[in-house]
Structure 1
Amino acid sequence: MQSTAFVGREIRISKGRFEAFSDGVFAIAITLLVLGFQAPKGNEATAATMGSWLLRLWPQYIVYAATFVTIGIMWFNHYALFHHARHISYGALVANLALLMLIAFLPFPTLLLGQFGLVSTLLFLYSLLMVLISVCYGALYYVVMLQPGEQGSVGGFIRSRSAWNTLGPVVYAIAMAVSFVSPLAALLLILAMAVFYMLPMTVASALAAGARGSTEEQ
């Protein structure tokens, strides 16, 4: 099976290889998050003080959980988007690469937050990255929907996510501003956004919209 096909002047990429590559980037990015945790050095902690040392890492736990959940939700949305897509155009490939580039960068600010704590500059960088990821997701959605024959199931899924795609950049932009006043509040906003995307009703509505669109196509 060819991995690339030419349809008229349009280049179409193998959907299987496209999804496999994307899944690999998501998996590596989410695995690298654990590198933010480092064992105590020297006399930083002893067997007697290990409990208190672990408790002092609570900001790092929040950062890890927020980023892990966020990447997990990104992967789910990515899967749901391309589950009903018939093919991958060159435009979708480029938009997807931009998105994956940003997602692969997420472990870096997460690592810095783990090492230096809830610093305003780092929370600003983290929030800015989330804004850019949200914008790239929106761009990817509409590039895919504009592909020939994708207005049914994919269109239904994207229409169901329009409000969420608008809400994400707004909340993350607020987190950027709040980061200079309260880094913890900015982090909690990011975590709250991830939890919201995980709500069963949010997930179910997106899947139902895709299923309705698929039925309409037939």
Structure 2
Amino acid sequence: MNKNRLEAFSDGVLAIIITIMILEIKAPEGKEFQDLISVFPKFLSYVLSFLYIGIYWNNHHHLLQGLTKVNGKMLWANLHLLFWLSLIPFSTAWMGENYFSKSTMTLYGVILMFSAIAFNLLQTCIVKTEGVDSLVGKATKNDLKGKLSIVLYILGIIISFFNQWISGVIYLIVALIWLVPDTRIEKSLIK
């Protein structure tokens, strides 16, 4: 299979995920700026989730740039990632509707953690297929950000049972860590 089909399908799913998230934000009843306050929690949860989807889209693109072949394991690993990412609109809406309550922040963290695990599994599957000396293998061998992210998600999930705001800050920190795209593969392609 051509990697372009994998990329196109994934890009389409991610675009749908973003579309679903924005459709959850309904215009307020009133016509004054102060009426926007009622949708601020939904907007804030949308911004965080949009950032996360953008980060995954960017890093997924870089990961697939170094791919030379696609097999069934990669397809399933990619679908596994897309499954977890497709749950983000649900948790985003629940979080915004309930003003970032502890339960909503716990679920959000669990979904983010499993998304990160799924991305790492896809990366591992690609390296096993392409080889450790491949472009992807060399570029991803020291994946400190990936491992650190999962640890921070676990910490955020545990803390969400006690203080949802601190867990939210942890989730934001992980997003900020990844805001600068992972360019290890891109740098390898330029050489």
- What is the TM-score of this pair, normalised by structure 2? 0.91
Aligned pairs, how many? Answer: 191
Looking at CA atoms only, which structure, 1 or 2, has the larger radius of gyration? Answer: 1
- From 44, 50, 73, the equivalent of 1:68 is 50
Aligned-partner SS, 2:129 = coil
Match of 2:189 in 1: 211
| Structure 1 counterpart of 2:19, one-letter code | T
Q: 2:168 aligns with which of 187, 191, 205?
A: 187
Equivalent pairs: percent with the same residue? Answer: 26
CA distance in 1, matches of 2:130, 2:160: 42
Please give the alpha-carbon distance, in whole angstroms, between the structure 2 residues aligned to 1:24 and 1:51: 34
RMSD: 1.9
1:121 aligns with 2:121: no
Alpha-carbon distance in 1 for matches of 2:80, 2:41: 29
Question: 5 Å matches for 1:79-158?
Answer: 79-148=61-130, 151-158=133-140
| Native 8 Å contact 1:36 1:115 kept in 2 | no
Q: Which has the higher strand share?
A: 1
Q: Name the counterpart of 1:8.
A: none
Q: Is 2:14 aligned against 1:32? A: no
TM-score, normalisation: structure 1 = 0.80
What CA deviation, in whole Å up to 9, does each residue of 1:21-72 have, x standing for no partner? 111111111121112312234xxxx33xx32232354333321111101110
Task: Describe the superposition over 1:76-124 as per-residue Cα deviations: whole angstroms up to 9, x where unpaired.
Answer: 1111011011011111111111111111111001111222211111110
Distance in 2 between residues matched to 1:206 and 1:14, nearest whole Å: 19
Determine if contact 2:94/2:104 at 8 Å carries over to the other structure. yes
In structure 2, the residue matched to 1:6 is none
Q: Which runs of 5+ in 1 are unaligned?
A: 1-12
Distance in 2 between residues matched to 1:52 and 1:59, nearest whole Å: 14
Letter of the 2:71 partner, please give it.
Answer: S
CA contact (8 A) 2:28 2:39 kept: no
> 1:149 and 1:125 mapped to 2: Cα distance?
35
CA distance in 1, matches of 2:149, 2:16: 24
Give the conservation status (yes or no) of the 8 Å contact 1:123–1:187: yes
Q: 2-side partners of 1:89 and 1:61: how far apart?
A: 39
Extract structure 1 runs of 4+ deviating beyond 4 A: none
8 Å contact kept, 2:135–2:185: no
For the 8 Å contact 1:29–1:107, the answer to whether it is kept is: yes
Q: Is the 8 A contact 2:45 2:95 kept in 1?
A: yes
Match of 1:171 among 146, 152, 158: 152
Evaluate the alpha carbon distance shift between residue 194 and residue 166 of structure 1 in structure 2; reply closer, same or farther with a 3 A threshold: same
Contact 1:36 1:111 in 2 (8 A): yes
Segments of structure 2 that go 5 or more residues without pairing to the other structure are none
